[in-house]
Amino acid sequence: MKVGFITLGCDKNTVDSERYLALLADHGGELAADLDDADVIIINTCGFIDAAKQESIDAIVDAGRRKSDGTCQTVVAVGCMVERHKAELAAELPEVDLFLGASEMERLVPELLARGVLDPDAPLVSHPGVRLYTGDLPHVRYLKVSEGCDHGCAFCAIPLMRGKHRSFALDDIVREAQLLELQGAREINLVAQDLAHYGRDRRDGIALPELLAALTESTSVPWLRLLYLYPTGITPKLLELMAREPRVLPYLDMPIQHGSDTVLARMRRPERAYTIRERVARLRDAVPSVAIRTTCIVGFPGETEEDFAMLCELLEEVRFERVGAFTYSPQEGTSGALLEDDVPMPVKRDRLERLTELQRAITAERYERHIGSTVRAIVDRVDRDTGERTGRTLWQADDIDGIVRLAGSAVGGSTATAGTIVDCVIEDVVDDYDFAARITRVHAAPPAVVPAPRTGRTLPVMAGASIASYGR
């Protein structure tokens, strides 16, 4: 059986898909190189915002057409959007054979076996570890350390889709990181709904700093990057570790959402403008080289032009390296959906454009200060025809923060292949978000990938949890 897997939404969904593919491989499944070759198409949906929902629906409809055309036999929709809207989707999309929400994923294999889609007697397909990688950068991997969220932000439906926060066991996380390293990982991005919340529910004294210490002690992965931390959870202990441990990159993805206290209160966020300023200052004092990425929402109910001006003023003052900005859309079941969506869409779009242009200039200014300096980077791609290399500095996360265009390939007899860590001199900033640089030193090339031993059909899950607890 050949499986076509479409993953939408965040990096945490990517982790889920890799796990589910590994389970299917355990039962004779094989990843299809092209959807046209797939016997089964599985869409891992996103339900975060309206645009993501529409993208998920479009993917499901396209898979349904392929089924109608006879190019596949079974269509399955899973994940976050299905968790929230299963009944409506099932009524509108009868061509889908199976809907499974994020909390039901342990049913995937049994359901496919019961429907005759999977052969219970099929020979096992050999693959390393508990996740089957499907991307094009095997040296860049994501490691989810917890599930769910305890925050009650007015605009966010994730707690409704993923439940309360549950931290995974430290030993299981470390073991998975070791497997990722055996699969070729050179950069591991730690992800969760709130990384800073890790360990608070386990009450064993293990929090994010202890997890990072365990990962540095138990693996040799050169880059560990932290994504998605709420500002309130960034502790002095975490900053101390980041300052002294070079493998924990000086990079934080820290959402603030707004700069007006009135809007922050209406959003049910714990921060205020002055606390955001204080936290950023403390962070930069502790780790002077840190790059901070944040996210903002414009057009939340009640946002006035004065509120928006406060947000822009905060961004101008704090000068984050990168900002991801979005227009607000009400999500069913959230407290924000009970408020009148009184900011017209043209106003939302105008504010988004103005904020984007403001941040573009700030990012360019922040990047230009690095011209002439020597920084560490990782090579992501090497063009087979031209030999051109692109990668990222330690201040650039995969797929969201731009790239570095690398001149030079061989220094001291070593060649910079994909996954190689290099030193480079920043020569210019290109298109505001990218660097142009020249390689000055090539560090040890990535080791050959060694197949990890199979661990059997059982995934390493925390005590009392199901496989579904590894969802988004």
Tens-digit pLDDT profile for residues 229-251: 988 888 999 999 999 999 999 99
pLDDT above 70: percentage of residues in the chain: 90
Q: For 422-451, b where at least 16 C-beta lie within 10 A, e where not — what string?
A: bbbbbeebeeeebbbbbbeebeebbeeeee
Residues 113 and 120: beta-carbon distance below 8 Å: yes
Residues 467 and 172: beta-carbon distance below 8 Å: no
Three-state secondary structure of 364-396: HHHHHCCCCCEEEEEEEEECCCCCCEEEEECCC
Tens-digit pLDDT profile for residues 86-99: 888 888 888 888 88
What distance in Å separates the CA atoms of residue 253 and residue 290, rounded to the nearest whole number?
A: 11
Residues 374-442, CATH architecture: Beta Barrel (2.40)
Tens-digit pLDDT profile for residues 10-28: 788 888 888 888 878 777 7
**How far, rounded to the nearest angstrom, does the alpha carbon of residue 294 sit from its chain's CA centroid?**
14
What distance in Å separates the CA atoms of residue 52 and residue 371, rounded to the nearest whole number?
A: 37
Output the CA angle 340-341-343, nearest 5 degrees.
125
Tens-digit pLDDT profile for residues 445-457: 676 554 444 333 3
Average pLDDT over residues 148-156: 90
CATH 2.40.50.140 domain locations along the chain: 374-442
pLDDT recorded at residue 133: 75
CATH 3.80.30.20 domain locations along the chain: 140-368
Tens-digit pLDDT profile for residues 398-414: 988 989 999 977 665 56
Q: What SS3 state is found at 84?
A: helix
Residues 403 and 396: beta-carbon distance below 8 Å: yes
Q: What DSSP character marks residue 257? A: B
- Least trusted range by pLDDT, from 119-123, 128-132, 465-469: 465-469
Residues 6+ positions from 210 with CB-CB distance below 8 Å = 170, 199
CATH superfamily for domain 140-368: tm_1862 like domain (3.80.30.20)
Residues 140 and 186: beta-carbon distance below 8 Å: yes
CATH 3.40.50.12160 domain locations along the chain: 2-123
Tens-digit pLDDT profile for residues 261-310: 999 999 999 999 999 999 999 999 999 999 999 999 999 999 999 999 99
Q: Please name the fold of domain 2-123.
A: Rossmann fold (3.40.50)
More confident residue, 30 or 397: 397
Q: How many Cβ atoms from other residues are within 10 Å of residue 267's Cβ?
A: 25
Average pLDDT over residues 107-113: 85
Average pLDDT over residues 195-221: 91
pLDDT over 50 (residue 470) = no
Q: For 96-106, b where at least 16 C-beta lie within 10 A, e where not — what string?
A: bbbbbbbbbbb
